[in-house]
Structure formats: structure tokens, C-alpha cells
């Protein structure tokens, strides 16, 4: 049996890297006042159809959807925003009129073509700020993501920001865009020709060469923003400048769905090349209503953790795991093993890694294991030691050895380590 295509096992020699990333995330989120939310891995399919949009690629082609034994249509979450909003509504978090700042870390599922750094089960970290319409909230989530990457040691970060307007100003722009592309329809790819009327903004971020060339002189959304959207966009830029976060204005940065409003942003890590986007986000003032809740202006982002890990590994930015003191207890015979287990338990309670043989090896075999395991000390309890009530404690570094009464072994090791004679 093998793991399914697009999935992977994370073995102990790599798991610490994930823990390293995740603890950096948790530390930072706590400083920014974000609370962790853990939602179910699967939800009613309808949630994602409404929350992501039933014409998007994710919903039409990439979801893991199945009928459960009760005849319900269930989907493994392809992203976490819809679930977070569902939970926000279900638990009536909006009831207190406060801003709710949430973050999540977890597995997402998309039936996509697997490639380097891209899996069918993949991991995302993301935040959602619900109930805040100030551009200061947009600046804060951008600062959180940017600071995380900087703290992890990534340089070469490029932040792209754009405003995609609101329900008032975007329709005018949309119409201009449709007219513009109609004149160049022969240059567009099939997909873009097809979605031109329904979703002209998406043509702007199409990767096909013809579409890219055709959009060079396309009207810019930022020339069509209403007064309010313009003011918000300028405020965001002012706040980013105050934060010392450099940014580039990118009128091609769009998101296709109607419930996205104002800010759209992306953080790229250029050394990753074609897959350089490590964080994407923006404002989605219309989403909560789309899912059946009250009007709740909101902003958030998601970070692909596989890609972030790739970037960190590329630069050697993941420190080796902190290694606790390590003791190997070699004991032969049930009585000696019982003494050994007692010592082991105390050492572990003191935060020392303490191993014993679990395979019935000879004392000599156990000592060989002690050497192989990289232990700092071996605690030996053979027949003679058992009779004397003292273990032989051997420093594996210099080979020196002392006999220590069983009950004093943990303290002896602790004193040695802290330099007490
Ligand atoms: Zn507007
Ligand atoms: Zn295209």
C-alpha cells in the first residue's frame, strides 16, 4: 500500500520543521491578538458552493465531494475561510458587536495536478478579521503575514497591492473591461473568451501569453474607484508606509468574485520562481452575507505552508531542533530493569530524554545502542551494580565512569550538566 497521489507522510525527521513554522505562527498571532479556530475537515458541499462561488475552478473541478451514508453531499474543505465564516455565524460571534480576529492552521484538499510544492492534501495558515471595515485592518493582516516571513528570515519579499473597488464602482469598470477585451477577443484563450462576460477581471490574471499581451493597455481599476474606495486605498498605502512595509501597486491583481471588495494583495518570495506567491489575501465584505449572515466587512489571507517550507529550506532557515540531555539506561534482568525504569521515570520528569532497551538485547548490545543513539550518558545496571545498589554512570563524551547510588542518579546527571561539582 502507498500514500495516495498528491499526499505525503511527514516523518519525525521533517515534522520538527512543521512545528518550527507553526510555533512561529502561533507566537506572532498571539501578539497580534488573533485567536485560533479549528473547524471540521469536511462540511456540507453547499457551504463551499456559496462561500467560494460555484463557477470557480476550485468548486467546479477541484473539490473532494462525496455522498455520505446518510445521502448528504459532503466536501473535504478546499480552503478555510468559508468554514470560519460558517462557525462565526453558527456561534453568533457577531452578537457582541466586536471585531473577531481568527487564525487557523490545517489541511485543505483539492483535486489538483500534483507538482513541486503542490499537493492534493496541503496545509494552510490563514487569518480572518471579521467585522472590521477600517483599512487599518487590511494593513494589520498584511503586516502580520509580512512580519511572519521576515521573522522566519526571508528577505526578497515583494508585496503587491491593489484595490478592486466595491459594488458601486466596479460594475462601471467591468463594463469598460468587457468592451476593451471584446475588441481583442481573437487574442484571448478559450477560457477567457468564455468567461469574458461573466468574469472579465479574471482575464487580467490569466497566465496565457495571448491574454497577457492583450491586457497590457487594459483600463486600470484604480482609475475607476469611487471616492470612498479611493480614500480607503490611499489610507491603506499610508498605513503600510507607516509600518515600513514596501509595496508595489499591481492593477493586475484581481479576485474574481463579487463578494471581494477593495483590497487585494499578494506576497511573493521571488527566489521560488513561477510559484513565488506565498500569501494571498484581501477584503471580502460581501462573503458573510453570501453565507446567510448580517453585513460583516472582513479581510483575511491564506499562506501555503508547503511553499513556505520550501522557501525556508531553500535558504537553510530552519534551525536544528533543540535537543534535550539524553541518557541511555542499560539494564539486564527484571530487577535491574525495574530499577532502571524508576530512574528513567525521574529523568523524564526532569525533562531529560531517557531511553531503555525494549528488544531484550544483551548488556553489550545495549551499550552499543547507547553509543549509536548519541546519548550523553549511559547508566549501567548489571548484576554487580544491582547487588551494590549503585549504577555505573558513564559519560559517553570522555568515557569516564562513576558509581552512583540509584536514587542519586537523576541529581548527579543534572549537577554534571549544570557544572555543579
Ligand atoms: Zn467603490
Ligand atoms: Zn486567458
DSSP at 199 = -
CA 396–ligand 1 middle distance (angstroms): 70
Which residues are close to ligand 1, an ion, with C-beta < 5 A?
Answer: 165-166, 168-169, 226, 229
Full domain range(s) for residue 263: 12-169+225-314
- Split at pLDDT 50, 70, 90, the class of 420 is low
Distance 198 CA to ligand 2 centre (A): 14
Query: Can you tell me the mean pLDDT for 85-113?
Result: 96
Per-residue model confidence (pLDDT) at position 366: 98
Q: Is the pLDDT of residue 254 over 60?
A: yes
Distances (CA, A) of 372 to 28, 66, 328: 38, 49, 10
Please check whether residues 75 and 158 belong to one and the same domain: yes
Sequence-distant (6+) residues with CB within 8 A of 353 are 323, 324, 325, 326, 327
Is residue 145 domain-resident?
Answer: yes
In contact, 8 and 120? CB cutoff 8 Å: no
| Residue 200 is assigned to a structural domain of this protein | no
pLDDT at residue 127 tops 60: yes
Task: Identify whether residues 252 and 359 lie together within a single domain.
Answer: no
Q: What is the pLDDT of residue 52?
A: 86
Query: Within this chain, do residues 19 and 110 fall inside the same structural domain, yes or no?
Result: yes
Give the integer Cα–Cα distance in Å for 360 and 213: 71
| DSSP one-letter code for 313 | H
Residues 272 and 402 both lie in one domain? no
Q: Do 300 and 382 share a domain, yes or no?
A: no
Domain shared by 45 and 155, yes or no = yes
249: domain CATH number is: 3.30.930.10
What does the pLDDT average to over 61-75?
A: 96
Q: Cell for 318?
A: 530552519
- Separation of 262 CA from ligand 1 center, angstroms? 7
Q: Is residue 51 part of a domain?
A: yes
Predicted confidence band of residue 59 (pLDDT cuts 50, 70, 90): confident
274-306 burial, b at 16+ Cβ within 10 Å, e below that, comes to ebbbbbbbbbbbbbbebbebeebbbbbbbbbbb
Domain presence at residue 187: no
Please report where in the chains the cell 528513567 appears, as a residue.
344
- Asked whether 62 and 129 are in contact (CB, 8 A), the reply is no
Q: Are residues 33 and 135 in the same domain?
A: yes
Give the count of domains, the chain.
2
- What pLDDT, on a 0 to 100 scale, did the predictor assign at position 6? 95
Percentage, residues of the chain above pLDDT 90? 86
Answer with the one of 314, 343, 378 that is the final residue of a domain.
314
Domain boundary among 314, 337, 365: 314
Paired with 395 in beta bridges are 377
Mean pLDDT of 180-192: 92
Please tell me the distance between residue 227's alpha carbon and the centre of ligand 1 in angstroms. 7
Query: Do residues 56 and 153 share a domain?
Result: yes
Instruction: Note the pTM of the prediction, 2 decimals.
Output: 0.91
Q: Is the pLDDT of residue 74 over 70?
A: yes
pLDDT over 60 (residue 84) = yes
Same domain flag for 245 and 336: no
53-62, 102-111, 122-131, 295-304, range with the lowest pLDDT = 53-62
Flag whether 192 is in a domain: no
Determine the distance separating the centroid of ligand 2 and the alpha carbon of 252, expressed in angstroms.
13
Q: Are residues 47 and 153 in the same domain?
A: yes
Region class of 82: left (phi > 0), else alpha (psi between -120 and 50), else beta: alpha
- Cα distances (angstroms) measured from residue 354 to each of 14, 63, 214, 412: 22, 46, 66, 14
Ligand having the closest approach to the CA of 173: 1
pLDDT in tens, 365-388: 999 999 999 999 999 999 999 999
377-381 vs 326-331, strand pairing mode? parallel
> Which residue has better confidence, 221 or 115?
221
Q: Are residues 146 and 258 in the same domain?
A: yes
**% of the chain beyond a pLDDT of 70:** 99
Query: What pLDDT was estimated at residue 259?
Result: 82
**Stretch 222-234: mean pLDDT, rounded?**
97
Residue 251 shares a structural domain with residue 335: no
Does residue 147 lie within any of the structural domains? yes
User: CA 285, 133, 79: angle at the middle one, nearest 5?
Assistant: 45
Asked, for residue 31, whether it belongs to a domain, the answer is yes
Measured in Å, residue 108 CA sits from the centre of ligand 2 at: 27
Query: Separation of 220 CA from ligand 2 center, angstroms?
Result: 18
Q: Among residues 284, 314, 344, which one ends one of the domains? A: 314
- Does the pLDDT of residue 226 top 90, yes or no? yes
Euclidean distance between CA atoms 67 and 118, whole angstroms: 26
Return the CATH number at 414: 3.40.50.800
Which residues face 334 on adjacent strands?
Answer: none
Ligand 2 centre distance from Cα of residue 188 (Å): 5
Cα 221 to middle of ligand 1, angstroms: 10
Q: Which ligand neighbours the alpha carbon of 262 most closely? A: 1
Band (332; pLDDT cuts 50, 70, 90): very high
Average pLDDT over residues 395-407: 96
pLDDT over threshold 60, residue 421: no
Give the total residue count for the chain: 421
**Above 90 in pLDDT, residue 53?**
no
The yes-or-no verdict on residue 417 having pLDDT over 80 is no
Judged against a pLDDT cut of 70, whether residue 191 lies above it is answered with yes
Q: How far apart are CA 146 and CA 154, in angstroms?
A: 10
Lowest-confidence pick of 41-45, 135-139, 175-179, 258-262:
258-262
| 3 state SS of 304 | strand
Mean model confidence pLDDT for the chain: 94
Residue 306 lies in a domain: yes
What average pLDDT does this structure show over 395-417?
94
Distances (CA, A) of 172 to 28, 166, 283, 304, 373: 40, 10, 20, 34, 69
Task: Quick: pLDDT tens for 272-325.
Answer: 988 899 999 999 999 999 999 999 999 999 999 999 999 999 999 999 988 899
Amino acid at each position: 500500500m502507498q500514500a495516495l497521489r498528491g499526499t505525503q507522510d511527514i516523518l519525525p525527521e521533517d515534522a520538527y520543521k512543521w512545528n518550527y513554522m507553526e510555533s512561529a505562527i502561533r507566537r506572532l498571532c498571539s501578539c497580534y491578538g488573533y485567536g485560533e479556530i479549528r473547524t471540521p475537515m469536511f462540511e456540507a458541499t453547499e457551504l463551499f458552493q456559496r462561500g467560494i462561488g460555484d463557477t470557480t475552478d476550485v468548486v467546479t473541478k477541484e473539490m473532494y465531494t462525496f455522498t455520505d451514508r446518510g445521502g448528504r453531499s459532503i466536501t473535504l474543505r478546499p480552503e478555510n475561510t468559508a468554514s470560519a465564516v460558517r462557525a462565526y455565524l453558527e456561534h453568533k460571534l457577531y452578537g457582541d458587536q466586536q471585531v473577531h480576529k481568527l487564525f487557523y492552521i490545517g489541511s485543505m484538499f483539492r483535486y489538483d495536478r500534483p507538482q513541486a510544492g503542490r499537493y492534493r492534501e496541503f496545509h494552510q495558515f490563514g487569518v480572518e478579521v471579521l467585522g472590521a471595515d477600517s483599512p487599518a485592518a487590511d494593513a494589520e493582516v498584511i503586516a502580520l503575514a509580512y512580519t511572519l516571513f521576515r521573522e522566519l528570515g526571508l528577505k526578497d519579499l515583494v508585496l503587491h497591492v491593489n484595490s478592486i473597488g466595491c459594488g458601486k464602482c466596479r460594475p462601471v469598470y467591468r463594463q469598460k473591461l468587457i468592451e476593451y477585451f471584446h475588441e481583442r477577443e481573437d487574442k484571448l484563450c478559450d477560457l477567457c473568451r468564455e468567461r469574458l462576460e461573466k468574469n472579465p477581471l479574471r482575464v487580467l490574471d490569466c497566465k496565457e501569453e495571448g491574454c497577457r499581451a492583450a491586457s497590457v493597455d487594459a483600463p486600470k481599476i484604480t482609475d475607476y474607484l469611487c471616492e470612498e474606495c479611493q480614500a480607503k486605498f490611499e489610507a491603506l498605502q499610508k498605513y503600510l508606509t507607516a509600518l515600513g512595509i514596501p509595496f508595489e501597486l499591481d492593477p493586475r491583481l484581481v479576485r474574481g468574485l463579487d463578494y471581494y471588495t477593495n483590497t487585494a494583495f499578494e506576497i511573493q518570495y521571488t527566489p521560488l520562481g513561477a510559484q513565488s506567491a506565498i500569501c494571498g489575501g484581501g477584503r471580502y465584505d460581501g462573503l458573510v452575507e453570501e453565507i446567510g449572515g448580517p453585513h460583516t466587512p472582513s479581510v483575511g489571507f491564506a499562506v501555503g505552508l508547503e511553499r513556505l517550507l520550501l522557501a525556508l529550506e531553500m535558504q537553510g532557515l530552519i534551525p536544528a531542533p533543540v535537543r534535550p540531555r539524553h541518557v541511555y539506561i542499560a539494564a539486564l534482568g527484571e530487577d535491574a530493569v525495574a530499577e532502571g525504569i524508576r530512574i528513567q521515570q525521574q529523568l523524564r520528569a526532569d525533562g531529560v530524554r531517557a531511553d531503555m532497551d525494549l528488544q531484550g538485547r544483551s548488556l553489550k548490545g545495549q551499550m552499543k545502542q547507547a553509543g549509536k543513539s548519541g546519548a550523553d550518558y549511559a547508566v549501567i545496571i548489571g548484576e554487580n551494580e544491582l547487588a551494590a545498589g549503585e549504577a555505573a554512570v558513564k559519560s559517553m563524551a570522555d568515557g569516564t565512569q562513576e558509581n552512583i547510588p540509584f536514587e542519586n542518579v537523576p541529581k548527579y546527571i543534572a549537577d554534571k550538566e549544570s557544572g555543579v561539582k
